[in-house]
Amino acid sequence: MHPHTFLCVDAHTCGNPVRVVAGGAPVLPNVSMGEKRQIFVAEHDWVRRALMFEPRGHDAMSGSILYPPSREDCDLGVLFIEVSGCLPMCGHGTIGTVTVALEQGFVVPRTEGRLALEVPAGRIEVEYRRDGRFVEEVRLYNIPSYLHAADVRVEVPGLGPLTVDVSYGGNFYAIVEPQPEWPGLDAMTSAEILTLSPLVRQAVQQAVAPVHPEDPRIQGLSHVMWADRARHPQAHARNAVFYGDKGIDRSPCGTGTSARMAQRTAKGLLKVGDDFVHESIIGTLFHGRVEGTAEVGGHAAIRPSIGGWARVIGHNTILVDERDPLAFGFQL
């Protein structure tokens, strides 16, 4: 039996991995990316596990699969794959995918400097700047983002009472700001982030169980954002996002930054036109901006944009040999 072969381009966006699958992925029907995501999860999830988990990936692995768009007004369809599942939207994944697709010639823009992508959460536009073949910077105009629930009080085993906001930026986030019961991200080790985050996620999911008001396929609290003041002189704030079972985002997290800008706008701390530079746990930056207002199922929402960079780090032909007892990946 021949092994399954996947043609991938590996990149990272501000430190977080983006494995772009350009060949070998399952052929899916010409339906929306939201429907493709449902089909992929039900019938082909082994592809995600094989490409994201060890021995080919790791605890924070993330990537995307390129598909033709089902909509006339989009240049590319993107399915986000990650250790946590198939995300509705991924910001660092978009910046990495666009960089790879342009540099490798997987997409030819109709208008230089602009692309439109069909993603499971909807349609997004990006602008990019390139120098010859190489993409210097990508700005993505994300889907409308909103504060879903404010000041939610939960009891977290090992931590005690905690107040969090639940905000949506393409995924649902529990945002934990410094507070009397918790000193902030600066006082945390990575080991503590990994231990406490699943407990916070479970407690907040039980309390709120968020469902997107306009697309019930998008539901569940998937990510925890630990927030603090900036260290970088150009940043407004710093964060670490936890995902999957053991992943900490090395980038400032695009959907997380969108969710945080929505939260801060709803609380009167940002307004349309404001910039919000977000720093990651390793000191890299995303340049967020509140572009405008919107409405999501009766909630006041914002239209955020996020600017960042990505670099290609390798071409990777990945084999999945069914005779291998660990062919479909494992986690410790």
Region of 253 (left: φ > 0; alpha: ψ -120 to 50; beta: rest) is left
Angle, in degrees to the nearest 10, between helices 254-266 and 91-103 = 140
- Taking the complex as a whole, how short is the minimal distance between the CB of residue 253 and ligand PYC, in angstroms? 4
- Taking the complex as a whole, how short is the minimal distance between the CB of residue 110 and ligand PYC, in angstroms? 26
Instruction: State yes or no: residue 97 binds ligand PYC (CB under 6 A).
Output: no
Applying CB under 6 A, which of residues 69, 77, 85, 91 lies at the interface with ligand PYC? Answer: 91
Contact of 331 with 49, CB cutoff 8 Å: no
Q: What is the DSSP string of 198-210?
A: HHHHHHHHHHH--
Applying CB under 6 A, which of residues 205, 255, 280, 305 lies at the interface with ligand PYC? Answer: 255
Instruction: State yes or no: residue 122 binds ligand PYC (CB under 6 A).
Output: no
Active-site hit among 14, 74, 90, 253: 90
Catalytic site includes residue 90: yes
List C-alpha distances in Å: 110 to 76, 107, 321: 11, 9, 39
Piece in contact with ligand PYC (CB under 6 A), picked from 20-28, 44-52, 213-221, 252-260? 252-260
On the 0-12 / 13-18 / 19+ scale of CB atoms within 10 A, 136 is exposed
On the 0-12 / 13-18 / 19+ scale of CB atoms within 10 A, 106 is middle
Contact of 238 with 185, CB cutoff 8 Å: yes
Subset of 200-239 contacting ligand PYC (CB under 6 A):
none
Q: Residue 30 carries which DSSP code?
A: S
Subset of 59-88 contacting ligand PYC (CB under 6 A):
62
Applying CB under 6 A, which of residues 253, 266, 312, 318 lies at the interface with ligand PYC? Answer: 253
- Taking the complex as a whole, how short is the minimal distance between the CB of residue 222 and ligand PYC, in angstroms? 8
- Taking the complex as a whole, how short is the minimal distance between the CB of residue 171 and ligand PYC, in angstroms? 6
Contact of 304 with 257, CB cutoff 8 Å: yes
Give the closest residue to 104 by CA, choosing from 219, 7, 214. 7
Contact of 87 with 80, CB cutoff 8 Å: yes
Closest CB to ligand PYC among 9 and 306?
Answer: 306
**16-23 vs 62-67, strand pairing mode:** parallel
- Taking the complex as a whole, how short is the minimal distance between the CB of residue 308 and ligand PYC, in angstroms? 9
Calculate the CA 289 to chain-centre distance: 17
Length of the chain: 332
Per DSSP, helices labelled H in 248-289 are 254-266
Instruction: State yes or no: residue 254 binds ligand PYC (CB under 6 A).
Output: yes
Pattern 163-192, ligand PYC, x by CB under 6 A: ------------------------------
- Taking the complex as a whole, how short is the minimal distance between the CB of residue 243 and ligand PYC, in angstroms? 5
Closest CB to ligand PYC among 91 and 327?
Answer: 91
Applying CB under 6 A, which of residues 177, 228, 249, 279 lies at the interface with ligand PYC? Answer: 249
C-alpha 71/C-alpha 77 separation (Å) is 9
Closest CB to ligand PYC among 89 and 203?
Answer: 89
Closest CB to ligand PYC among 77 and 304?
Answer: 304
Please give the positions annotated as active site. Answer: 90
Report the interface residues with ligand PYC, using CB under 6 A.
16, 62, 90-92, 243, 249, 251, 253-256
